[in-house]
A and B are shown apart, each in its own frame.
Chain A
C-alpha cells in the first residue's frame, strides 16, 4: 500500500512539474519573453543556490566524517599498514586543502559574478605567470606525494626475509584453503592435474602422483566400458569420446610429471621439492603469529580471486597459473583487537575475496586468527598431528548456482556421466 502511495505521489509530482512548466511557458509566451533570455530573478536564484550548495556539500562531508568516521577500518594491524595509514592521512590533508580551496573559489565566483546588464566581464584571456604558478605548485606537491608513496611501496614490495613464516592461500570458487609447511619448513610442489577429492591443492608427492594415475586409469577404463557397452545418443557418445581423449592426454602429462619428479629426486635427493609436500598442512583455519614476518603465497585453482585482509591493509590477486606473494608483519593479535581496539568479543580478522568470481563472490571468506608466537606454535603442533580432511562444500551457497566440483566427492566412475564443456 505504501509502495502504491509512493508511486502515486511520484507520478503526480512529475505531472505537476510538467504542468507548472507548461503554465510558465504559456505565460512567458504571452509576455513575449524568450526561452533563452534568463531573467534576473532566475540568475539570482541560481547564484544564491551556487552559494548554498557548498554549505550543504561541506556539511554533508562533515556529517559523514562525524557519523561514520569511527566505522571506517580501525587501526592497521600490520607494520606496513601503519605506514600506509600515515601516508593516507598525509594525502588526505593535502587533498582536503585542495578540495576546499578549489570548491570555495568555484562556487564563490559562480555566485558572485552573476549577470548584470550594467557590467561587462573582464578581458583576461591569459596570464603566463599565473599559469606557471598553478602548474608548478601542483607539480611540486605531487613530487612529494610520489616520493613518499614510492618509498612506502618499495618497502612493502621488497623481498621477504628467508626466515619469514610462509603460508599458502589457495583460492577456488568459493572458498579459501591455507597450506602451511610441515616439519621440513618448506611447501611441496603442486600441479593442478593432481587435484582430486583427497588432494584439493594438487600437492605433488610420489604417493599423490601414484594415486592420481591409478584414479585416472579407473576413470579411463570406466569411460571405455561405457562407450563399449552402453547405447548412447550420438552427441553424448561424441562428448564422452572427446572427454576420454582429453583424459588420456592429461594422463600422459601426469606420467610426464612423474618422470620429471623422479629425475629431480634422483638428482637432489632429500632436497627435492617433490619430497617436501607430504607433511604440508592443508587446513581451513588461517592462523598467523604476531610480530613475525609472514610471506603469503597466493594461488588460484580456477579463476582470478583476490586475497584481501582489510584490517591488515593487505591485498594480492590470486591468479590461475601464477604464484603471487605478499609479505607483512601482523602487529595486533585477534585477542587484543577484541579487547583493546574494537571492543567486540566476536571480532575476527577476515580474509575475503575481492575480485569478482561468481555467484557467491560476496561470501567467499575465511576468518584469520592472529595469535602470540606461543599460541601459534601450540596451534601448529596440533595441526601437525591431525590429517587433512576434505572440506564439505560451504552450506550457504545456493546449490543451483554452484558448478559441479570434483572435491565435493563425486565418485570417480560417476564423472564420466558429468557433462562438461
Chain B
C-alpha cells in the first residue's frame, strides 16, 4: 500500500545493525524517539486524569456549595473534606494543581513531548533525534517532575494553592495560605525539573529539524506539523528560562530572606523586614513565559490539525506559505503581548496601550489560519475519521475562544471582566479545548504509527461527539457567569446575592463536566484496549503523503530499514490533477513537466 523506497543513497548507516535490547533499555531508559513519545503520552494521560478528577471535585462544590459528597471525601479524606464538604483551602489547592497539571504536564509535556518526539524524526526523515540520550533525559526529568508534583498533594498544609500563576506574596508567605509551605516548595522543585525537561527536549527538536532533514526536505517542504513544533520549541527555549529565573528568585524570597517580590508587608501580627521588592516584577517575568506558553500549547495542536485536515479532506492545505507565515507571526507576537494579563495591576496605562495594540495584532494571523482551514474544507472530499472530527472541533473552539480574546485584549473592557469567569471561559475554550482536541486528533491519527494497531472508530465517534457537546456545555455558560461579574477562584458564590441569578448555570456546567469526564473513560478504554487487542494497522492507513507512513508498521531502530528516503515534493499533493490516486507520497519523484505546487 505505501510507497516503497526505491532509491539508494550509498551510505551505510550506523543505525542498521540491530541487536537484542534488554527490557530496561527498550522500555524504560529508551533512547528511541518512538518509545519516548509513548512514555510522554501515557504519563500525560495519567496526569490528565488526576487533573480531571480534581476539576470534578471543585465543580461539585461550585454547583452545590457546602454539600457533602462521598466522591469528594473518597479522594480527599476527612482532613480536606470532612463529611465530603470541600475545605476552602483545598478548593484553592485543587484549582491551582488542576491548572498546573493541565497547562504544563498535559498540554506542554504531553502534547509537545508526545508528538514532537514521535513525528520530528519520522516527518523530516531522520533515524532518530539529534541526541537520543538527551531525549531520554528529557522524558525522565518530566517523569520526575510529575512524580514530585503528585507528591506535593500529600504534604501537610496541602499542595500549592496560590493559583497556577503563583503570584507572590501569596506564594511566598506560608502565613497567608497553608499551601505556600512545603507544597509550594515542591511545586517549584517540580517546575524546575519540568523546565529542564522542556529545554532539553526543545533544543533537541530544533537541532533535529534544522540539521537532520533528509535529502530534498527543504524547509518549504516541511509538513505544517514540523513548522508548528519547530516554532513551539523555539518559543520554549526563549521563554522557559525566564520562568526558571522567576521561580529561583521566588525560592530565594521564600527561604533566604531576599526581597525581590516583597515590600511593606504586615502579616500574622508582624511587619516583615523585606522591603523594596515588587510583586509586579514577578508578574512580568511570569507572563513573559506565560503568554508564549499559550502558543507553546496551541501551535502543536494547530500543526497537527493542519496535517489531519488536509489528509482527510483529501485536499491540499490552503495557503501553505500563509500558514507558515502565520505560525511565525504568532510566534513573534507572542513575546510582546504579556502585559495584557496585567492591565489592572497598576502598570503604566501607556504601556497597557502598547500591549492592547500588539495583542490585537495576533488576531490577524489567527484569522488567516481559520479562513485557511475553512477554505481547505471547501470542495474537499471529507472522510470523517475520529481524528478529522477532533480537528474540525479544534477549528470551532479556536473560533469561539479566539473571538472572546478580542474583548479581553481591549484594556478598557478588561477592567470589568479581568479575573472573572469570562476569562475562565475564554482560555479554557481557546487554549484548553483547542489544544486537547489537537492532542486527541493526533492520538487517533498517529495511533497506528505508535502502536501498529487501530483504535476503534465507533468509540472514537462517541468520544468526540460527547466531548464536543460537553466542551461547549461546560465553558459556554461561563461567559455569562463572568459577565454577571462573578470572579474566578471563588469557593462559593453564596455570600453574594448579586450572583443568585446565575448560580443555577453552575449546576448545568457541572452536569456537562461530569458527562464530559465520562466520555474520557470511553477514550481511555479505547486507547488501552486497542494497544492490546486492536486490529493490526497497515503501513499507511489514511493514505497520507508524509514520510512517517513510509516506515514499517513494526518499530525498528533507525525508522527505515534501508537508506533514508529522499523527498521530492511538498506533503500536500492530495487530489492533484493528473494523478491516478488522490494522494502522492513525498518520496514520489516529480514527473518531468510537473510543477511542484
The CA-CA distance from A57 to B378 in the complex, in Å, is 21
Contact B349 A36 (CB under 8 A): no
A303 touches B169 (CB 8 A): yes
By the criterion CB–CB under 8 Å, are B382 and A110 in contact?
Answer: yes
Binds A, one of B116-124, B146-154, B232-240, B494-502: B494-502
Give the residue name and chain of the A residue nearest to B416 (CB). Answer: A313
Contact check: which of A57, A106, A316, A322 meets B278 at CB < 8 Å? Answer: A322
Binary flags per residue of A38-50, CB closer than 8 Å to B gives 1, else 0: 1000110111011
Contact B495 A363 (CB under 8 A): yes
In the complex, residue of chain A having the shortest beta-carbon distance to the beta carbon of B493: A362
Task: Name B357-389 residues within 8 Å CB distance of A.
Answer: 357, 360-361, 363-364, 367-368, 370-375, 377-385, 389
* Cross-chain contact B377 with A149 (CB below 8 angstroms): no
A-B contact pairs, 16 of them (CB 8 A): A43-B383, A70-B501, A95-B404, A109-B378, A113-B382, A121-B315, A125-B319, A126-B318, A150-B412, A310-B416, A320-B262, A320-B265, A324-B346, A359-B92, A405-B267, A420-B268
Considering the complex, give the chain A residue whose CB is closest to the CB of B404. A95
User: Contact partner of A68 among B169, B399, B480, CB < 8 A?
Assistant: B480
Q: Is the CB of B382 within 8 A of A114?
A: yes
Task: List residues of chain A with CB within 8 A of the CB of B558.
Answer: none
B356 within 8 A of A: yes
Given known contacts A73-B484, A109-B377, is B498 in contact with A56 (CB within 8 Å)? no
Give chain B interface residues in 460-484, CB to chain A under 8 Å.
Answer: 461-462, 465, 468-469, 472-473, 476-477, 480, 483-484
Interface hit among A175-183, A223-231, A275-283, A346-354: A346-354
Contact of A350 among B415, B477, B496 (CB under 8 A): B496
Q: Which of A25, A47, A192, A246 contacts B264 (CB 8 A)?
A: A192
Known: A113-B379, A125-B318; 4 extra A-B contacts, CB below 8 A, are A17-B459, A125-B597, A193-B266, A303-B265
Q: Which residues of B contact A71 (CB under 8 A)?
A: 480, 484, 501-502
Q: Is B320 an interface residue, CB under 8 A from the partner? A: yes
Q: What residues of A have a CB within 8 angstroms of the CB of B266 in the complex?
A: 192-193, 195, 202, 301-302, 406
CB-CB nearest 8 A-B residue pairs: A321-B263, A310-B485, A71-B501, A324-B346, A157-B349, A46-B384, A36-B541, A35-B454
A193 CA to B518 CA, complexed, in Å: 54
Query: Which residues of B are found within 8 Å of A356, using beta-carbon distances?
Result: 92, 162-163, 167, 170, 489
A304 to B268, CA, bound (A): 15
Among candidates A3, A17, A110, A131, residue contacting B70 with C-beta atoms closer than 8 Å: A3
Q: B377 near A60 (CB under 8 angstroms)?
A: no
With A109-B378, A304-B169, A359-B88 known as contacts, the answer to whether A125 contacts B267 (CB < 8 A) is no
A10, A35, A322, A365: which contacts B457 (Cβ < 8 A)? A35
- Contact (Cβ within 8 A) B175 A415: no
Interface string of A181-204 (1 = CB under 8 A from B): 000000000001101000000100
Q: A17-B459, A362-B88 are in contact. Are A95 and B412 (CB under 8 A)?
A: no
Pair B577/A123 contact, Cβ less than 8 Å = yes
Is A99 among interface residues, defined by CB-CB distance under 8 A? yes
Q: Is the CB of B392 within 8 A of A50?
A: yes
- Report chain A residues within 8 Å CB of B169: 302-304, 320
Q: A121-B314, A125-B597, A357-B170 are in contact. Are A319 and B379 (CB under 8 A)?
A: no
Expressed in whole angstroms, the Cα–Cα distance for A256 and B521 within the complex equals 65
Which one, A42, A106, A156, contacts B392 given CB within 8 A?
A106
Say if the beta carbon of B220 comes within 8 Å of chain A.
no
- Kindly state the separation between the CA atoms of A202 and B315 in the bound complex, as whole angstroms: 70
Contacts known (A317-B346, A404-B268); A84 close to B279, Cβ less than 8 A: no
Report whether B174 and A72 are in contact in the complex, using a CB–CB cutoff of 8 Å: no
Q: CB distance A42 to B384 under 8 Å?
A: yes
Q: B residues within 8 A CB of A369?
A: none
A121 touches B574 (CB 8 A): yes
Q: Give the shortest distance, in Å, between A289 (CB) and chain B (any CB).
A: 22
- List of B residues within 8 angstroms of A113 by Cβ: 313, 377-382
Instruction: Pick the contact of A95: B383, B407, B538 (CB < 8 A).
Output: B407
Report if A146-B177 is in contact (Cβ < 8 Å); known contacts: A95-B404, A153-B353: no
Q: List chain A residues, Cβ under 8 A from B379.
A: 113, 121-122, 124
Residue of A nearest to B271 (CB): A193
Question: How far does the alpha carbon of A64 sit from the alpha carbon of B262 in the complex, in Å?
Answer: 44
A221 beta carbon closer than 8 Å to chain B: no
Quick check: is A21 within 8 A (CB to CB) of the other chain? yes
Which chain A residues border B375 with CB–CB below 8 Å?
124, 130
Residues of A with Cβ closer than 8 Å to B?
3, 10, 14, 17-18, 20-21, 24-25, 29, 34-36, 38, 42-43, 45-47, 49-50, 53, 56-57, 60-61, 64, 68, 70-73, 81, 83-84, 87-88, 91, 95, 98-99, 102-103, 105-107, 109-110, 113-116, 119-127, 130-131, 134-135, 138-139, 142, 145-146, 149-150, 152-154, 156-157, 173, 192-193, 195, 202, 243, 246, 249-250, 301-304, 306, 308, 310-311, 313-317, 319-322, 324-325, 346-347, 350, 352-363, 365, 396, 398, 401, 403-406, 410, 415, 418, 420-421
Task: Select one of B381, B383, B395, B501 contacting A119, CB under 8 A.
Answer: B381
Q: Is the CB of A106 within 8 A of B374?
A: yes
B269→A106 contact, CB < 8 A: no
Q: How far is the CA of A276 from the CA of B320 in the complex (A)?
A: 67
A336 to B419, CA, bound (A): 28
Q: Is the CB of B367 within 8 A of A150?
A: no
Q: How far is the CB of B258 from chain A (nearest CB, A)?
A: 14
Number of interface residues of B (CB under 8 A): 144
B interface residues, Cβ below 8 angstroms from A: 70, 87-89, 92, 162-163, 167-170, 173-178, 262-271, 273, 275-280, 313-322, 344-346, 349, 352-353, 356-357, 360-361, 363-364, 367-368, 370-375, 377-385, 389, 392, 395-396, 399-400, 403-404, 406-407, 410-413, 415-416, 418-420, 448, 454-459, 461-462, 465, 468-469, 472-473, 476-477, 480, 483-485, 487, 489-493, 495-498, 501-502, 505, 518, 521-522, 525-526, 529, 534-535, 537-538, 541-542, 572, 574-577, 582, 597
Contact A420 B176 (CB under 8 A): no
Closest A residue to B96 using CB positions: A356
Closest CB of chain B to A135's CB: distance in Å?
6
Pairwise interchain contact B416-A146, C-beta atoms closer than 8 A: no
The answer to whether B264 touches A46, judged by C-beta atoms less than 8 angstroms apart, is no
How far is A396 from B495 in the complex, measured between Cα atoms in Å?
A: 10
- For B173, the closest partner residue in chain A by CB is A303
Contact, CB under 8 Å: B89 / A401: yes
With A43-B384, A405-B269 as known contacts, state yes or no: A99 contacts B582, CB within 8 Å.
no
A99 adjacent to B418 (CB under 8 Å): no
Q: Is the CB of B395 within 8 A of A106?
A: yes
- The answer to whether B352 and A157 have CB atoms under 8 Å apart is yes
- With contacts A95-B407, A106-B377, A306-B419 taken as known, whether A25 is within 8 angstroms of B480 at the C-beta atoms is no
Give CA–CA (A71, B316) in the complex, Å.
47
Q: Smallest CB-CB separation from A138: which chain B residue?
A: B367
With A21-B456, A36-B541, A125-B572 known as contacts, the answer to whether A246 contacts B273 (CB < 8 A) is: yes
Task: Give the chain B neighbours of A14 by CB distance below 8 A.
Answer: 518, 521-522, 525
| Docked pose: A156 CA to B177 CA in angstroms | 34
Q: Say yes or no: A421 contacts B315, CB within 8 Å.
A: no
Q: Given A142-B363, A358-B177 in contact, is the A404-B269 Cβ separation under 8 Å? A: yes
Closest B-chain residue to A319, C-beta based? Answer: B279
* Cβ contacts under 8 Å, A131 to chain B: 319, 322, 368, 371-372
Q: How many angstroms from the CA of A322 to the CA of B469 in the assembled complex?
A: 45
Among B271, B385, B399, residue most surrounded by chain A Cβ atoms (within 10 Å): B271
CA–CA, A324 to B280, complex, Å? 12
CA distance A64 to B318 in the complex (A): 35
Q: Which B residues lie within 8 Å of A121 (CB)?
A: 313-315, 379-381, 574-575, 582
Give Cα A249–Cα B495 distance, bound, in whole angstroms. 42
Residues of A within 8 A of B497 (CB): 346
Enumerate chain B residues within 8 angstroms of A109, measured Cβ to Cβ.
Answer: 374, 377-378, 380
Q: Which chain A residues lie closer than 8 Å to B468 at the CB level?
A: 53
A36 in contact with B356 given A361-B490, A362-B490 (CB within 8 Å): no
Choose among A50, A134, A316 the residue that contacts B367 (Cβ–Cβ < 8 A). Answer: A134
